[in-house]
Every structure is written in structure tokens, then in C-alpha cells.
Amino acid sequence: MLARNLFILLVVVGAALAIVSLSLQFFHLIPTTPMGEERPPQGQGQGQGKSRKRVIPVPNTEAPEPDPIAEAYGYCNTPNHSEQAWEGHSPADYKLLSIQVMIRHGDRYPLYAIPKTKRPAIDCTLSPKRKPSHPQLNSFIGHMAQGGRGRWEGTLSSLPRLPNHSTCEMGELTQTGVVQHLRNGQLLRLAYKRHKLLPPNWSTKQVWVETTGRSRTLQSGMALLYGFLPDFDWSRLTVHHQWSTLFCGSACDCPARNRYLEEEQRRQYRLRAADTELERTYADMARTLGLPPRQLRAANPIDSLLCHLCHGLSFPCVAAGSALSSGGCLTLAQFAVIRRQQLEDEVDRRRVGLYRRYAVLATHPYLNRTANRMERFAKANAPGRKPRAGGEEAFTLSSAHDVTVAPLLSALGLEDALFPRFAARVVFELWRSPPATQGQHKGQGQGLVKADWLKGERSKGGNWGNMFVRVLYNGEDVTFHTTFCRSHGRNAAQPLCPLGNFLSFVKKDMFNVLNATSYHNACYRRTG
């Protein structure tokens, strides 16, 4: 009997220890994701659901070396039903005045073809029955058929409003790209619904949409707008044409910007040329395909291979049919080497700093328009002001490219943010604090703005003590990682960033990295 009781006791103790062990393993396996990172499940392209308990994300100071394959799946941005967003979150009783959104277009067909291989077999027509799909996809298709009632600037009216080729054309938006932005629009609609940002009868002045002259950016913008404003009234919409991918409008002439870009491109070339593993990989790939390595490089194979990866297609294969070709398939290991080098290039780019200088000059015109819109809205909402007829631009959407979004992140000081994935979004929010706290925050907000800027604003009758901004990247609040608000501190009594900080940054402070005082001065001043 004693032996049996002892045996039972040992079994109970063993079971208890097993439960504790499993619990510890469970807590250890809860993922902690660095700012903006998407970590796909093994063998899939969908990101894991992220913890949303923090309003202000804390960067991971012990981030491991990035996995090129996992990073590539995050870049694909396969639509994920568990995705959430921090847009629209604020302290109680704060009033949201406006949002300005810049997006990268959604998933597209490659811009380059790998010689001697078959192009990826992807259908670029839209079908609600094909995955990935979206509940609004069918109604979106019908709504775009009515687009002739809208106003389209420049050559935009000649572009198709939907991708429409059964065999995709180079650079064409795919169904995945449309669904990505329908989801973006839906996320923003749910985030801002309670704030009543736009009245049901919004006017033409209150919604501003602009896009480059590419069908993929126009279609991406329309998908997000439809997700945000289902069945919107075409007669009230004007779609504006941005001729430059930098969205620089009439301020595109900047000699110094072009010089910094040329220097940055030379840095990239030197880093690639010094990478012996990369050279061997390109030589192996070229031998498989029967091509000179230089021709393979010029074909930018990573662009096409990313498309294969994102759409779950096997990498290209060729048969041995010439003296140059050994035959076979391109491999995931070769793909990983090229992506590894690209990730290392991003680290070196931040270290050298040439790209940051280029980025400041490349994005100032867009940031200046963003700041001016915020300033106008702040003035229009000042105490005692009568609202303008038709209202201000409460919702602004700029549909752009990776070469637009990447320098914007760098200029804002978000150097650690991941390279813009398909359907990436950057959101600028303008907030007003509640009347009961305007007095107590007034001095605090002004104290954080440079004195000379405040003096100028007072002379115009401006007072931004109750106005604040937030910046979000792919749904993460990155405001306190920006150059203009790092010094504000996470533990300040005011949890948002004073508008004056942003205005001062755009008008003057962002040129400090160039030892200049203005955009014109930085663009035309000769150095050295």
C-alpha cells in the first residue's frame, strides 16, 4: 500500500512539473515583433497577429539578424484577416481633424523578365471566386465601371480603372494588390468611423486624391478609397495627377538632390561589387540559364523571383539546351543570397548617410504640402473661427511607389523602418486637445517649439498649443521615433507630439543634416 501511494504521489508531482514546464514554454514562445516587422508563419506568406497593448511601440534593442526569406514574405504582405491598426487611437476627448495618407501600390506583376524562362502564370483579371478575395471586391468592380462620372486630371482618364488582362502585363496590379488596398481602406474606415472625419455629404474640397500616371497606383488608390468610402459619389471626386514619383509638384528642380542620388548609387554599386558570395551566386544562376552574368544582373532577377515567392509559384527552370546552359532551376538559396545583400545594403545606407541627405530633398515638397494642410486646418479650427464654405481637406490620399515611400521614411528619421512592402501606408493625423485641457497644455506645447518659429507664428495670430500630430507606418504608431518628436519623450504629460514640432521640422530643422536653412538653399548651394 505504501509503495502504491508513493507511486501515485510521484505521478502527481511529475504531472505538476510538466504543466509548469509547458506554461513556461508557452510564455517563452509569445512573439515579440520589432516596430513594423511582419513575421510570416513557417511556409506561408501571412504575418502573425501582433500584440496591440502599447500605444507607443518600444523598439527591440536586441533584434536578431533578419532572415531574408521571412523578410521577403513580410514584403509580399499577403492579405491577413488578423491584421489590426493603431490609426484613430488617442487620449479621451481628443478631436481628430484630418488625416493624410501616402501608400505604396499593391502587389504587381514584375517589371523585368528573366531571359530564357517562362513568365509567371498569373491572371490579372478580377474574380471574387479567386483567392485572395474580399467581401467588397464584386461591388468595387461594379463601382469602377461608373468611373467616367469622376474628374480625372491629365492623362489619368486614359488609364484602366481595373487590372484587366488574363495574362498579366509588366507592372500590372494583381488581384492580390487590389485586395490589399481594399483591406487598407476597410481598416482605416473602421479606425476612423467613430471620429466622423467626413460628413455623409462631404464636399469635393474635403477629399483630395492624387496618383502618379501608372495604372497600378491609380487602381491601388481607387481600391483604398472604395474600402474607406464604399459607393462614394463619383460626381464629387477629382483624381489629381502627380507627374513625378517624388510628388514634388512645381518644386522638382533640385540639383543637389540629383547629386546625392548619384553618389548613393555609386555606394550601392561598390558594396555589391565587393560581395564575393553575391558574385558567385549570379555566376551560378547565369550558368543555369545559359546567360552572361552581366545580362542576368541587368534583368534584375530578384523582381521576378519575388513574384514567384509571393504567389506560391515554383522558381523558373530551363532545360540544358546550349553550350552555355547547364539546365536546372533557380533556387531559394540563391534568392536568399540576393535578399541578404539587399538587407545589408540598407544597413550600410544608414551608416553612410548619403541616402538620408537625398531623402530630405526628395520628400520636402510633399512634407511641405502636408504641413501646410495641417496649418490651414489648425487655423480653421481655432477658437472663434468660422468654418470655410465647403470645408478643408480632411482626407488626403497619395498613391505612390517604393521610391516615394522609402525616402519619406528616411527623411522623417525612421531609418530602422523596414523597406516599404506592397501596399505599405504612412498616415499623418492632426488632433486637437479637448477644451478643458487647452490651457494646461498651451504652454507645454509651445515650449517644445523653437523660439524663432513661435515668434513668426504669433505674428500671424497662430497658436498651436492645443494641436498635435501622430505618424503611423503600417498601423504602428512611430511618432516618437521621428526626428521631430524623439526629444518630446515617451513619459511627457502630453502623450501626443505638438504640431509646432512638425511645422518647425518641415520649414527649417530637417535641413540641419545638410547644413542648410531652407529647401532652396540646400538645393542650390555648392559645397566643398
Distance CA 491, CA 489 (A): 6
Strand partners, 173: 108
Q: Determine whether 28 is an active site residue.
A: no
Task: Write down the catalytic residue from 345, 402, 416, 509.
Answer: 402
Specify burial of residue 37 (Cβ count, 10 A radius: 0-12, 13-18, 19+): buried
Query: How many alpha carbons fall within 13 Å on the CB side of residue 25?
Result: 6
Contact 150/335 with Cβ under 8 angstroms? no
Residue positions counted in the chain: 528
The DSSP line for 335-383 is HHHHHHHHHHHHHHHHHH-HHHHHHHHHHHHHHHHHHHHHHHHHHHTST
Contact 475/495 with Cβ under 8 angstroms? no
3-state secondary structure of 157: helix
The DSSP line for 30-68 is S----TT---PPTTS-PPPP-----SSPPP-TTPPPP-H
Grid look-up 504582405 returns 77
Task: Write down the catalytic residue from 105, 134, 441, 488.
Answer: 105
Specify burial of residue 274 (Cβ count, 10 A radius: 0-12, 13-18, 19+): exposed
Instruction: Tell which residue, 425, 527, 515, has the closest CA to residue 478.
Output: 425
One-letter-per-residue 3-state SS of 384-418: CCCCCCCCCCCEEEEEECHHHHHHHHHHCCCCCCC
Peptide bond connecting 132 to the previous residue in cis, omega within 30 degrees of 0 = yes
Cβ atoms < 10 Å from Cβ of 421: 24
Distance CA 449, CA 457 (A): 11
DSSP state of 173: B
Helices 215-228 and 137-144: angle between axes, nearest 10 degrees: 120
Distance CA 360, CA 407 (A): 7
Distance CA 468, CA 438 (A): 11
Grid look-up 510628388 returns 247
Q: Determine whether 105 is an active site residue.
A: yes
Instruction: Tell which residue, 59, 53, 114, 112, has the closest CA to residue 84.
Output: 53
3-state secondary structure of 462: coil
Instruction: Tell which residue, 412, 296, 351, has the closest CA to residue 36.
Output: 412
Contact 498/480 with Cβ under 8 angstroms? no
Catalytic residue annotation: 105, 402
